[in-house]
Amino acid sequence: MASYDSKDLIVLEGLDAVRMRPGMYIGTTGVKGLHHLLWEIIDNAVDEVANGFGNKVEVTLHKDGTASVFDNGRGIPVSPHPKLKISGVEVVFTQLHAGGKFGDNNYKYSGGLHGVGASVTNALSRFLEVTIYKDGKKYFARFESVEKNGKIHSGVPVEKLKEVGNTTLKGTYVKFLPDDRVFKDTKFDYNTVLERLKETAFLNKGIHIELIDERTNARESLCYEGGIRDYVTFLTMDKKPLFVPPIYIENEIEDTYVSLALQYVDNYTDNIFSFVNNIPTPEGGTHEVGFKIALTKVLNDFAKKHGLIKDKDPAFIGDDFREGMVAVLSIKMKNVQFEGQTKTKLGNVEARARVENVCNQGLTEFFASKKNENIGNIIIEKAKGAARVRQAAKRAKDLARSKNSIESTMLIGKLASCTSRNPDINEVFIVEGDSAGGTAKQGRDRYYQAILPLRGKPLNSEKKRIDQVLANEEIRTIIGAIGTGIGEDFKLENLKYNKIIILSDADQDGMHIRCILLTFFFRYMRPLITNGNIYVGMPPLYKVTAKDKEWYCYTDEELENITKNLKNYNLQRYKGLGEMSAEQLWTTTMDPARRSMIRVSVEDAVQADKEISMWMGDDVGPRKDFINRYANFNKVDSFEKNKEDKDE
Ligand code: 1YM
């Protein structure tokens, strides 16, 4: 049995705090939080390799539930910390917020600055082992969560770092077992890890990342020599690029490294995926602003220089140059400040001018070259289309506004609103079909539940431009009811319902309507998804009646479980919402105390965007390929489904 003394426990009080309130450090103790443990270790390994010390990171998911990460960098320092008098390894795994890095910080840039540190992984693990290969020697240390006097102490160094042999290797190996007393589910998900590592490999060109799943023998080697160029190519794989390869520029200015890969595709959305020190910044920030300013200026200059703007053409605005654009912007800098609702927006003011400078210079050079002139022409043509539609949309909006009083009352007339005026408790059910809508109206609690019945299918917004989307009556009714406006005009504070619940039949048509609505929210009201306001209601699929008892089943599994011990029973299969009585709809689907719902979140906007193009876009090819390959109808939309045990 390993030993530890009370001195250790004092050093470790910080880690006990992590165990008391894991949410404060890793957000949740659900699957997301579980994977966070692994990201912390991977981030340290990638930081080391991305800064030029080594070239390889290997991640393994083991059969016994542990995960391990190896990098062939310098190895975490083994010498004692001058003040704390414990080894560098121990500092890294037991000290919270150890501030900067131990000793002199050799890293120019670090993603880890954002993270909470490897000590949090240690605190929330049953055990964690570290092996260091450094200067011909092999070292080992082990940490455990130990129980003493009925209390659990986290991350105790039960085997202090010691030399255990010689080696010709160099690097750091960390293996840990997530604590099942903290996490309900301690199983790492191969695809989640793979997606994350893929992103990391794209953002750090040339590094080799290996993922090995010993539970299934799946494995993947990732290395992209083209870096973010390859990323853009990957993102546009299911779309129609207007030219190949993507435009690419990179440069360093005032200790800030800026790289940009840019492509245009045959659709109308604007997709900028930006990163700072490998951390995604979906809320944008100063770096994105700098890029947009430069792009607008350079393209306007190009159009003027080549006489591409005629008098009859409307003047371009920045948006026009971003229609159909897919861009990856990755910058690396020191002292990053994140702000915004989810701390994913870059705040550093100095980044704007630096990014603008690099992009200005790089893009000007690119378009000045004779061989790229055609690419410039293609983009300007695309922007002209965008400018025309923008003006048409404005006319359509103005018209809608002028007719507002009459028409919107007519449209909202379809909405059975609720009596409460408190958006925090109010809910709106978007219900497929007039007849189900009628049933829902009777079944609801009219104090806080509103019903919006949809006649027919709403417009598939992936296939249409904004002016057509806005002209669609179903879509306009939804926009009017929700209250926030759309796109650039979106204002979350005007949201009239805290929960927007899509209620469609459990058949192909219902699934299609659900996809169309989610696509619309994703494209035009995305904050509703990131803010967690969008839900999918779950009506039961079956009703089982036996003697004087009845059960509702929401899945085939539930049905099997219930019927396997019954001898005589009657089975009713609900094909649509319309087959239920108002009373039944209330008990099974609408009553917050009894219903189950899926809350829609966009875990990974990149993945979501790709899948939406595939499922909802014009091009049927990728969709067919996918269906042929997987034919798995459980995964029809691109949103992560978190089935809530019980809503509320
Ligand atoms: C499998 C996980 O943690 N690798 C790793 C971590 C460090 C170093 C090298 C490192 C950093 C520095 C100097 C430095 C870390 N060291 C520290 C600290 N892989 C993994 N590889 N020498 C080695 O930053 O100056 C924190 S991370 F603080 F001890 F220096």
CA of 101 to the centre of ligand 1 (A): 8
Active site residue: 40, 144, 213, 432, which one? 432
Residue nearest to atom 24 of ligand 1 (CA): 105
Active site residue: 135, 365, 381, 507, which one? 507
The confidence band for 345, taking pLDDT boundaries of 50, 70 and 90, is: very high
Residue nearest to atom 15 of ligand 1 (CA): 76
pLDDT exceeds cutoff 80 at 240: yes
Question: Quick one: 159 exposed, middle or buried, by C-beta within 10 A (0-12, 13-18, 19+)?
Answer: middle
pLDDT exceeds cutoff 50 at 103: no
CB 299 less than 6 A from any atom of ligand 1: no
- SS3 labels along 204-241: CCCCEEEEEECCCCEEEEECCCCCHHHHHHHHCCCCCE
What is the reported pLDDT for 639?
A: 35
Residue nearest to atom 18 of ligand 1 (CA): 102
CA of 340 to the centre of ligand 1 (A): 30
**pTM of this prediction?**
0.69
CB 330 less than 6 A from any atom of ligand 1: no
DSSP for 8-45, written as a single string? HHHHTHHHHHHHH-HHHHHS-SSHHHHHHHHHHHHHHH
CA of 56 to the centre of ligand 1 (A): 15
The confidence band for 4, taking pLDDT boundaries of 50, 70 and 90, is: very low
Task: Quote the CA–CA distance of 26 and 51 in Å, as a whole number.
Answer: 26
What is the reported pLDDT for 131?
A: 98
What is the reported pLDDT for 619?
A: 65
CB 494 less than 6 A from any atom of ligand 1: no
- pLDDT tens for 554-580 read 888 899 999 998 888 999 988 888 889
What is the reported pLDDT for 200?
A: 96
Task: Quote the CA–CA distance of 402 and 396 in Å, as a whole number.
Answer: 10
pLDDT exceeds cutoff 90 at 225: yes
pLDDT exceeds cutoff 90 at 85: no
CB 48 less than 6 A from any atom of ligand 1: yes
Residue nearest to atom 4 of ligand 1 (CA): 45
CB 106 less than 6 A from any atom of ligand 1: yes
Instruction: Among 46, 76, 86, name the best residue to mutate to test ligand 1's pocket (greatest count of ligand atoms within 8 A of Cβ).
Output: 76
Atom of ligand 1 nearest to the CA of 88: 29
DSSP 595: -
What is the reported pLDDT for 313?
A: 73
Q: Which of the residue ranges 293-297, 397-401, 415-419, 466-470 has the most confident prediction, judged by mean pLDDT?
A: 293-297
Residue nearest to atom 11 of ligand 1 (CA): 76
Q: What is the mean pLDDT of residues 377-397?
A: 84
Instruction: Among 49, 81, 93, 101, name the best residue to mutate to test ligand 1's pocket (greatest count of ligand atoms within 8 A of Cβ).
Output: 101
DSSP 338: E
What is the reported pLDDT for 626?
A: 55
CA of 535 to the centre of ligand 1 (A): 43
The confidence band for 407, taking pLDDT boundaries of 50, 70 and 90, is: very low
The confidence band for 321, taking pLDDT boundaries of 50, 70 and 90, is: very high
CB 102 less than 6 A from any atom of ligand 1: yes
- pLDDT tens for 146-190 read 998 889 999 999 999 999 999 999 999 999 999 999 999 999 999
Task: Quote the CA–CA distance of 63 and 59 in Å, as a whole number.
Answer: 13
Q: What is the mean pLDDT of residues 33-54?
A: 94
CB 81 less than 6 A from any atom of ligand 1: no
What is the reported pLDDT for 520?
A: 85
What is the reported pLDDT for 396?
A: 64
What is the reported pLDDT for 642?
A: 39
CB 58 less than 6 A from any atom of ligand 1: no
Task: Quote the CA–CA distance of 319 and 46 in Å, as a whole number.
Answer: 35
Task: Supply the Cα-derived Rg of the chain in whole angstroms.
Answer: 28
- SS3 labels along 396-461: HHHHHHHCHHHHHHHHHCCCECCCCCCCCCCEEEEEECHHHHHHHHHHCCCCCEEEEEECCCCCCC
- pLDDT tens for 623-639 read 666 555 544 333 333 33
The confidence band for 584, taking pLDDT boundaries of 50, 70 and 90, is: very high
Given a contact cutoff of 8 angstroms between Cβ atoms, the answer to whether 569 and 559 are in contact is: no
CB 522 less than 6 A from any atom of ligand 1: no
Q: Has 509 been annotated as catalytic? A: yes
CB 73 less than 6 A from any atom of ligand 1: yes
What is the reported pLDDT for 116?
A: 62
High-pLDDT (> 90) share of the chain, % = 58
Between the alpha carbon of residue 119 and those of residues 44, 96, 97, 123, 156, the distances in Å are: 12, 6, 8, 6, 11
Q: Has 507 been annotated as catalytic? A: yes
Q: What is the mean pLDDT of residues 323-336?
A: 94
Within 8 A by CB and 6+ apart from 563, the residues are 544, 569, 571
- pLDDT tens for 512-556 read 888 888 888 888 888 998 888 999 999 999 999 998 888 999 888
DSSP 503: E
Residue nearest to atom 2 of ligand 1 (CA): 45
What is the reported pLDDT for 352?
A: 97
- pLDDT tens for 265-314 read 988 888 999 999 998 998 899 999 999 999 999 999 999 999 998 777 77
- pLDDT tens for 131-145 read 999 999 999 999 999
DSSP for 610-648, written as a single string? HHHHHHHSS-HHHHHHHHHHH--TT--SSSEEEE-SS--
CB 92 less than 6 A from any atom of ligand 1: yes
Residue nearest to atom 19 of ligand 1 (CA): 45
CB 107 less than 6 A from any atom of ligand 1: yes
CB 76 less than 6 A from any atom of ligand 1: yes
CA of 288 to the centre of ligand 1 (A): 31
What is the reported pLDDT for 637?
A: 34
* Cβ neighbour number for residue 331 with a 10 Å cutoff: 27
What is the reported pLDDT for 409?
A: 47
pLDDT exceeds cutoff 90 at 363: yes
CB 527 less than 6 A from any atom of ligand 1: no
Where do runs of H (alpha helix) occur along 450-600? 466-471, 473-482, 508-524, 526-530, 556-563, 582-585
pLDDT exceeds cutoff 90 at 3: no
Residue nearest to atom 10 of ligand 1 (CA): 76
CA of 283 to the centre of ligand 1 (A): 30
The confidence band for 644, taking pLDDT boundaries of 50, 70 and 90, is: very low
Q: Has 104 been annotated as catalytic? A: no
pLDDT exceeds cutoff 60 at 100: no
Instruction: Among 102, 132, 200, name the best residue to mutate to test ligand 1's pocket (greatest count of ligand atoms within 8 A of Cβ).
Output: 102
Mean pLDDT of the chain: 85
Q: Has 356 been annotated as catalytic? A: no
High-pLDDT (> 70) share of the chain, % = 84
